[in-house]
Amino acid sequence: MAAGKTGSHLLGNSAWNASAFLISVGLNLLVLPFVLFRLGASAFGVAGLVTACVAPALAFGNSLALSTTRELACRLAPGEKAEARRFFATALLLAGAAGVPIAATLSLAGPPLARHVFHLEGAVANDLGLAFLLGAGGWLCQCISGVFLALFTARQDYPRLASISMAIAVISTSSMLVLVPRWPQASTFLGCQALGFAGGLLVSCAISRRVAGEWMAGPALHRGPLGGLFNVGAWQFAAQGSGVIAGQADRYLLGAFLAPQFVGYYTIAQRLEEAMYIGILKIGEILFPFFSSLQKESSDRMADLLFRSSWVLNVLAATALGALIPIAGPLLQVWTGRDVAIATQGLLVVLAAAGMLGCASNVFAYYLLAQGRSRSTALIALTTAVVTLATSAVVLPHFGWQAAGWSACLGMIAQIVITMSLLRQSFGMPGMWPRVGHFVLLPLGTGIITATSLRYLVGERLFDQAPHWWLVGASYGAAAGIIFVVVVAVSGIGPYGETCWRDMRAIASRFLPGKVV
């Protein structure tokens, strides 16, 4: 009964996370063609370059938010309220004391560095100062609000997290519709994003004060909590930094070797893949506070939860990301136009496959982080970044911007290898590798093969049809359904097939009306 309640709670949290993400990404994807049309590919590419330059600062904000979440999740009892307040106060001080100098450095050093590295001239170069100022300001608001959001994440209060996320999306997208036509510059686009983050900071501060005010405290330095945050956050900072570099490597090199519009084309393809990938990540991130609260569980119990959770998320990844592969061309055509679709559909296919491979390690990364093994997560991220960056540096100068994405595939393969090696050190159970093969590799491999087959069978025929949203939507739904059925059917074969079927029935009974047998 307890296991059933736990599973229902996790599924409910995932549903809240997914709902908030769908609304946020839906608004973002709807407004993006409008922004691209108003700004043009060159200015849109410059906005992508500025975002990529500000992105390394996310390593600090994300690592601080994760380490704060972990420490607060371990101190939820009423008797630990005072200690939790000290952690919150220290984290809030760190966010401001370190965040302001980082934002100032980005604002001052970013424009001249970008002009030199990316060879920017003319009007787009003149807009860099304001663009970096607004981009860094938005990051600072995001960094500080991460400490307030940690209060809700630690308590697995995903309904309130969802409401804050939706508020950010509504503010940023509505401001784009009003301001971008008036001032069609990269800085306007980044300013609208910053406005959304500033609104999110105000909303998160107000809700947290009303709901969890007794767990909050003003900025203050406490040595004990500082050491605790640093022990988890230092290696997590390295992990986050390496992950950011891996994610932005193609943008950096495209900007250095080619014109800004190619960065714009890459951003368009990546935004679609990234939307699906982050959505899956959002559904799965509820496992981090959950694993943090299960420190006293047995090793066998944790391993069982890990592999079963991984299988569910991998089926979801194979379905959602895999369905992009056969409809890549028609989707881009109806979203951005035929010319852009012809140029970017191959890149979207490669990025979708890379995203599927990247999902193989997500659950295990949450487990390692919840266990305080930040050194392991840093090693995974560093290996991924090195392989991705090295591959990009070799292929992009020789094969052009359309070779972007292959480095992400190789990086994710390296990530799988290093993650499974570390996992083997964590659990000494018999039958470890058969579980890895069945719960991790089988659904993703089946999804990639099925999606690629569908692309070669029907992809070109769809691209030749007149572009209609209803046709693209129906085609995506049909492809997702076929991939889902094939992956679940293949997973139902073998020694762990019954476990997969049982979990799938439990999920169906949670979300579908009526009784599912």
Fill in the amino acid letter for 196. G
pLDDT of residue 2: 42
Q: Which one, of 436, 451, 217, lies nearest residue 323 by Cα?
A: 451
User: What pLDDT score was predicted for residue 25?
Assistant: 66
d(CA 41, CA 35): 10
d(CA 408, CA 397): 16
Would you say 236 and 66 are in contact if contact means Cβ atoms under 8 Å apart?
A: yes
Residue 265 CA from chain centroid, whole number: 20
Q: What is the CA radius of gyration of the chain?
A: 22
pLDDT tens-place values along the chain, 517 residues long: 344 444 444 555 556 555 666 677 667 777 877 887 888 777 888 888 898 888 888 888 888 888 888 788 777 777 788 888 888 888 889 988 989 999 999 999 988 988 888 877 777 778 889 999 999 999 999 999 988 988 888 877 777 887 888 888 889 999 999 999 998 888 999 999 999 999 999 999 988 888 877 878 888 887 777 777 776 656 666 666 666 666 676 677 776 666 667 777 777 777 778 777 777 776 766 555 555 555 556 666 777 777 888 888 888 889 989 999 998 888 888 887 777 788 788 888 998 998 898 888 877 777 776 666 767 777 887 888 888 888 887 887 777 766 777 888 888 898 888 888 877 776 666 667 788 888 888 999 999 999 999 988 887 677 666 667 788 888 889 999 999 999 999 988 888 888 888 878 877 776 555 544 4
Q: Give dist(CA 181, CA 476) in Å, integer.
A: 32
Write down the pLDDT at residue 499: 83
Q: For the whole model, what pTM was predicted?
A: 0.67
Residue type, 69: T
* 205: CB partners within 8 A, 6+ apart: 145, 148
Contact criterion met (CB below 8 Å) for 194 and 134? yes
What pLDDT is recorded for position 3?
44
Rounded distance, CA 53 to CA 115, Å? 12
DSSP state of 185: S
Q: Sketch the domain layout of the chain as residue ranges.
A: 1-221, 254-512
